[in-house]
Chains A and B, each alone.
Chain A
Amino acid sequence: MDRKVYLDHAATTPIDPRVREVMLPYLTEKFGNPSSFHTLGKQAKDDMSESRSQIAEILNVRSDEILFTSGGTESDNLAILGFARANQSNGKHLITTAIEHHAVLEAMIQLEKKEGFEVTYLKPDRDGLVSVSQITEALRPDTILVSVMYANNEIGTVQPIREIGNVIQKYRQEHKNAWPVFHTDACQASSFLDLDIEKLHVDLLTLNGSKMYGPKGIGLLYIRRGIKLQPLQFGGSQERGLRPGTENVVGIIGMAKALTLAQKDKEKETQRLIPLRDKLIEGILKSIPKTRLNGHSTIRLPNNVNISFLDIEGEALVLYLDAAGIFVSTGSACTSASLEPSHVILALGMPYEVAHGSIRFTLGHETTDENIDYVLKTLPPLIEKLRSISPVRVDKKYFT
């Protein structure tokens, strides 16, 4: 297998060489612990502060509003569990969507099942979009937190975060309350979308280093000044005691560089990827019968293609593509014991049969036009073969 076409950038990205470059000294001579009083410690602390300032500038916030974590999952958990637990005297109602990442959903479920909160899960439309009016209708005086992801990790749909932020802000003003606050998981958005917090009107925002050509094991949570969170872990004063434990200095340095590059290049990369994305979508829909694009056709990330290939099961196709050197992922969780297919595709109102056959292709820096040609050439015979051994013939109504 000579050819390798990596189309799973929503799962993780390789580290950009420019990011690796700035990280290397922190794996060798600059190994100090920022809490140490000596020169090495001071250096680590200063460099970490510098990274924090860089990130704060990009997000248009203050440095002390940036909290470093171990990644997107921890940031989401801290935002939701941490905020809900610290502010439950103001109300116990939370709003989110049915298509959030599990790091948000499972935290919500925890609060709902074990801690007496009430959660409203908004169902998106068939294109995977949540509307501002759905939020407005769901808001109540006891709603303390709304969490809506910026861009969906499976289907790439981009939610109207600014508009939602706006109505939440207005609702607060009208009710003269400090709540509800607005959290967004922006992990998939960082390479393509605007992250200016003031424009977005968000109060809590999650980012992850490993989705933007930075390292794994590092993430951040933006926390608007004045917002109180209850920590999830204990044992030190790092990150204002909200996230104790020795800081991941090399990760922080890498994430700052990665975010800087991602935001600097985002327009250029968007312009480059949209034609490739659309070529892949149109190519598949045109050349392969019984296929369906999941998620909105234009209000989606420039790198996301999610297609249901009816009558076949996603994992089998992933493995056939793997053998052809094409690395993609399935939305359907056939590998999990529950056998539940993608909750996102199901939330679009699609039946299980459609969700089981969904495949996500996510493009990135290295993706070329030639790669897309190769995928479009490789796919049809594989689909044909898998369909020939499948007994399922899903009804037409689901893909027109």
Chain B
Amino acid sequence: MADVISKDNKQSWFYSDIVKDHFFHPRNFIEDGEDEGRFNAIGKVGSPACGDELRVWMRVDPQTERILEFRWRTFGCGSAIASTSMASVVVTENGGMTLDEARKLKPQDIIDRLGGLPQRKIHCSVLCDKALRDAINDYYRRTQQFDKIIAEASRVIDSVAKVTDHDIETAVLEGAQTLEQVQQKTKVGIGNPSCLPAVEELIRFYKEKYFG
């Protein structure tokens, strides 16, 4: 675990004290046998085969569309558990976020509140905002507000190498900073240079989105 160290290399533990606190004392996870009837939206992302799976249960106030309750279960590493726990606090504190506000929540917001995560662990934290958006869509689906559903389908960027915007996002999250590094991971544009400007734009976008 040599590569999982605190940002400033000063802490003896691998994660910040806040991460540690949320990891050892996770907030808002859903207990076995709890009545799930009161929730009016659910979301799911990942699978245990990829090493992370997250499910969320959400109770939204139909009048204000604020998130009153946000409960979860996570299969994943320390960062995944802590990020989900922190996300559940962020979306429900101060009377709860509106669904519009919640949809704008970025992984970086959660990471900031956690006092940072090791670079290698950033991908673990992106699951919770994806699950959150999945639950938001589910709420709109259930309340028949179909126009508000925003699908997160991936878009093919390089039809030759079959690389999608999601693949580029993953490469950036895994630490690729430049076009060359993204190409090493994805082979994007190697047989199809015409897509390169779009790729560079996406790299900038995801770097901005996740690393500010």
Contact = CB atoms under 8 A, between A and B. Distances in A.
A332 interface: yes
Given A311-B75, A320-B24, A335-B3, A389 B51 contact: no
Contact of B4 (A311, A332, A335, A391): A335
A336 B72 CA distance: 26
Given A323-B24, A335-B3, A391 B77 contact: no
Interface in B34-65: 44, 48-55
B23 A319 contact: yes
B contact patch SS: mixed
A319 B19 CA distance: 12
A335 B24 CA distance: 19
Contacts of B76: 313, 316
B174 interface: yes
A364 to B, nearest CB: 20
Nearest to A338: B174
A394 interface: yes
Interface in B80-103: 80-81
Given A341-B51, A352-B49, A391 B24 contact: no
Interface in A205-236: none
A392 interface: yes
Interface in A379-400: 388-392, 394
Q: Which of B31, B77, B123, B175 has the most CB of A within 10 A?
A: B77
A230 to B, nearest CB: 29
B75 A391 contact: yes
Given A339-B50, A389-B74, A391-B55, A316 B81 contact: yes
B51 A334 contact: yes
B49 A353 contact: yes
Contacts of B174: 337
Contacts of B24: 320, 323
A391 B54 contact: yes
A351 interface: yes
A74 interface: no
B73 interface: yes
B73 A352 contact: no
A100 interface: no
A326 to B, nearest CB: 15
A266 B200 CA distance: 59
A392 B53 contact: yes
B32 interface: yes
Interface of B: 1, 3-4, 14, 23-24, 26, 29, 31-32, 44, 48-55, 72-78, 80-81, 120, 123, 174-175
Q: Which 8 A-B pairs have the closest CB atoms?
A: A391-B73, A352-B49, A315-B77, A391-B55, A392-B75, A353-B48, A389-B29, A390-B75
11 contacts: A311-B75, A313-B77, A352-B48, A352-B49, A353-B48, A356-B48, A388-B29, A388-B31, A391-B73, A391-B74, A392-B48
